[in-house]
Amino acid sequence: MNKIMKSRKGLIALLLSMVLIIAAGCQSVGGLDFNSALKQSLKVTSSEGNQTMEFKLLLKENAAEGLDPEEAAMMELFSNVKLELTDIKMNKEQHFSTDGVLSLGSEKIGFSVYSDHKQAVIHIDGAKRPFVFNIKDIAYYGYGLPELEEAAADAETNAELEAKVAELQRKVMETASGFIIEKLPNPKRISVKPGSETVHNEKLTGMHVEADIDGSELLPWVQSFLSALISDPEGVKNVLTELIRITSEQPDLWESLGVADPFSEEYLEGKTKEQLAAEGADGFIKFLKEIKTELDSAINDSDYKEILNANSYLKYNLFVDSKLDIRKSAVTAVFKPGVDQSEEFMASPLEGFSLNITSESWNVNGIVTPVKPSETSVYYGFDQVFNSESFQMLQFFNEDSTVYNLLKKFGMNKQSLYFGEYDDHPPIVLPQGLTLLPLRDTLDQFGASLDYTEDDTTFKIYDKPTNTRISIVKDADSLTVNGNVVKWSSPTTKVDGTLYVPARDLIQALGGKLHWEDWGDDYRILIAEREL
What pLDDT score was predicted for residue 388?
A: 80
Cα 67 to its chain centre, rounded Å, is 28
Residues 6 or more apart from 239 whose CB is under 8 A from it?
175, 176, 179
Q: What is the pLDDT of residue 505?
A: 93
Residue 37: how many CB atoms within 10 A of its CB? 22
- Whether residues 156 and 256 fall in one domain: yes
Q: What is the structure's pLDDT at 127? A: 96
pLDDT at 334: 94
For residues 451 and 316, membership in a common domain is answered with no
Beta 80-90 vs 96-104: how paired, if at all?
antiparallel
Judgement on whether residues 192 and 304 belong to the same structural domain of the protein: yes
195/210 Cα distance (integer angstroms): 12
One domain for residues 113 and 262? yes
Does 201 share its domain with 111? Answer: yes
Could you count the other beta carbons within 10 Å of the beta carbon of residue 187? 19
Tell whether 407 is covered by a domain: no
Same domain, yes or no: 377 and 440: no
Quick one: pLDDT at residue 1?
36
- Tell me which of 383, 401, 423 is where a domain ends: 383
pLDDT given at position 465: 78
* 401 located within any domain: no
Q: For residue 508, give Cα distances in angstroms to 54, 125, 310, 430, 470.
A: 45, 34, 58, 19, 12
Q: What is the pTM of this model?
A: 0.74
Residues ≥6 apart with Cβ < 8 Å to 438: 425, 498, 499, 500
Cβ neighbours of residue 505 under 8 Å, at least 6 residues apart? Answer: 479, 486, 488, 489
435/373 same-domain check: no
CATH number, position 477: 3.30.457.10
| 123 in the same domain as 8 | yes
Residue 311, in any domain of the structure = yes
Tell me which of 326, 360, 383 is where a domain ends. Answer: 383
- Residue 161's pLDDT is what? 66
Residue 179 lies in a domain: yes
Q: Tell me, what's the pLDDT at 160?
A: 65
The helix (H) or strand (E) run that includes residue 71 is helix 69-78
Burial class for 292, CB neighbours closer than 10 Å (0-12, 13-18, 19+): middle
Distance of CA 260 to the CA centre of its chain: 30
Answer yes or no: do 372 and 480 share one domain: no
Task: Give the neighbor-by-neighbor strand order of the sheet with 435-438.
Answer: 428-429, 435-438, 498-502, 493-495
Does 263 fall in a domain?
yes
3-state class (DSSP) for residue 97: strand
- 276 within a domain of the structure (yes/no): yes
Number of domains within the chain = 2
pLDDT of residue 271: 80
Q: Has residue 406 been placed in a domain?
A: no
Task: Give the model's pLDDT for residue 39.
Answer: 63
Q: What is the per-residue pLDDT for 414?
A: 86
The answer to whether 357 and 331 have CB atoms below 8 angstroms apart is yes
Query: Could you state, in chain order, the average pLDDT of each consecutive group of 10 residues for the chain (532 residues)?
Result: 37 39 43 58 85 92 76 84 96 91 94 90 96 72 44 51 71 78 81 90 91 88 91 91 82 70 74 85 92 85 80 90 89 84 59 93 94 90 83 88 90 87 90 92 90 81 89 87 91 89 93 89 88 83
Residues 376 and 453 both lie in one domain? no
Neighbours of 299 (CB within 10 A): 14
The rounded distance, in Å, linking the Cα atoms of 309 and 340 is 13
- State the residue range of the domain holding 321: 2-383
Is 408 part of a structural domain of the chain? no
Residues 227 and 283 in one domain: yes
Candidates 214, 334, 304, 295; CA nearest to 10 is 304
Is 428 found in the same domain as 353?
A: no
